[in-house]
């Protein structure tokens, strides 16, 4: 099973993914956790360039960098793990490209979809969790993270509110168009409630798949 986690900055998607991984392992499943961009030595180098706050990167270049990382991740990590019967959890996947580079940057969605499909070899998630939060809360969480961890805002964090609102709208549109695959969770709720909703959805997915 291939499960992806999506959302704007500070949504809690990474925390949710880790919680789902713990629960699945406790249930006896073999789980691989990965992320985009990154997840491989090649992908991690691309990630460093992509997020570098000192660089100015054109939207199409962003999309090409992301899909270069994606192709390597799918070939080297995701497909081998799935073929071995493991559950793969991925922090961001194709939906992020559509939301950020499509809705956020204004690139053509059909072009991005075709590019992403080619890079992924047609691999699509079995289930996706879109952790939705208002942009105002996103900005508060990013600022809090900066204060507490000393983590400097990366190139995407530094985009303005209007950009992040367009990305959020993009995710909402994707979820509306594919409600069977994409479950929308309220990221403003306590972490344990968000995790509980995700695990409940996965149990429903398991029962539906068994029919």
Bond from prior residue into 70 cis (ω within 30 degrees of 0) = no
Higher pLDDT, 103 or 143: 103
Helix (H, G, I), strand (E, B) or coil at 122: coil
Would you state the pLDDT for residue 210?
Answer: 46
In this prediction, residues 112-119 reach a mean pLDDT of 98
Shortest CA distance to 107 belongs to which of 166, 175, 184?
A: 166
Question: At 182, which helix (H) or strand (E)?
Answer: strand 182-186
Sketch the domain layout of the chain as residue ranges. Answer: 2-210
What is the side-by-side order of every strand in the sheet holding 87-91?
Answer: 31-35, 87-91, 2-6, 127-132, 182-186
Would you state the pLDDT for residue 180?
Answer: 95
Whether 194 has a pLDDT exceeding 50, the answer reads: yes
Would you state the pLDDT for residue 205?
Answer: 58
Whether 91 has a pLDDT exceeding 90, the answer reads: yes
Reported residue count of the chain is 211
Whether 170 has a pLDDT exceeding 50, the answer reads: yes
Higher pLDDT, 153 or 136: 136
> Which pLDDT band holds residue 145 (cuts at 50, 70, 90)?
confident
Whether 189 has a pLDDT exceeding 90, the answer reads: yes
Q: Residues of the chain with pLDDT > 70: what percent?
A: 96
Q: Residues of the chain with pLDDT > 90: what percent?
A: 88
Would you state the pLDDT for residue 109?
Answer: 98
Instruction: Report in angstroms the alpha-carbon separations of 86 from 6, 17, 39, 110.
Output: 21, 15, 16, 31
> Which pLDDT band holds residue 171 (cuts at 50, 70, 90)?
very high
What's the token pair of residue 113?
A: 């979809």
Q: pLDDT, tens digit, for every residue of 40-67?
A: 999 999 999 999 999 999 999 999 999 9
Helices (H), the chain: 13-26, 41-51, 59-73, 79-83, 94-96, 109-120, 135-149, 161-177, 191-210
Average pLDDT, the chain: 94
Shortest CA distance to 8 belongs to which of 131, 102, 172?
A: 131
Whether 29 has a pLDDT exceeding 70, the answer reads: yes
Question: At 3, which helix (H) or strand (E)?
Answer: strand 2-6
How many Å apart are CA 117 and CA 157, to the nearest integer?
26
Whether 161 has a pLDDT exceeding 50, the answer reads: yes
How many Å apart are CA 36 and CA 190, to the nearest integer?
25
Higher pLDDT, 114 or 206: 114
In this prediction, residues 77-95 reach a mean pLDDT of 98
Give phi and psi for 34, each to the nearest 5: -145, -175
Highest CATH level, class, for 2-210: alpha beta
According to DSSP, the residues that pair with 91 across neighbouring strands are 5, 35
Would you state the pLDDT for residue 211?
Answer: 40
Helix (H, G, I), strand (E, B) or coil at 211: coil
Distance, C-alpha 113 to centroid of its chain: 15
């Amino acid at each position: 099973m291939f499960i992806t986690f999506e959302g704007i900055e500070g949504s809690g998607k990474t925390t949710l993914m880790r919680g789902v991984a713990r629960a699945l392992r406790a249930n006896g499943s073999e789980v691989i956790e990965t992320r985009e961009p990154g997840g491989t030595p090649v992908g991690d180098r691309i990630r460093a360039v992509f997020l570098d706050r000192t660089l100015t990167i054109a939207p199409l270049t962003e999309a090409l960098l992301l899909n270069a990382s994606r192709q390597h991740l799918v070939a080297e990590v995701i497909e081998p793990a799935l073929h071995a019967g493991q559950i793969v959890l991925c922090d961001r996947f194709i939906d992020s490209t559509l939301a950020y580079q499509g809705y956020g940057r204004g690139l053509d969605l059909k072009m991005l979809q075709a590019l992403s499909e080619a890079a992924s070899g047609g691999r699509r998630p079995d289930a996706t969790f879109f952790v939705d939060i208002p942009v105002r809360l996103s900005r508060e969480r990013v600022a809090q993270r900066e204060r507490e961890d000393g983590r400097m805002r990366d190139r995407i964090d530094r985009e303005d509110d209007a950009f992040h609102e367009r990305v959020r709208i993009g995710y909402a549109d994707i979820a509306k168009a594919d409600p069977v695959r994409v479950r929308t969770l309220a990221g403003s709720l306590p972490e344990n409630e968000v995790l509980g909703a995700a695990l409940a959805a996965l149990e429903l997915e398991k029962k539906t798949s068994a029919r």
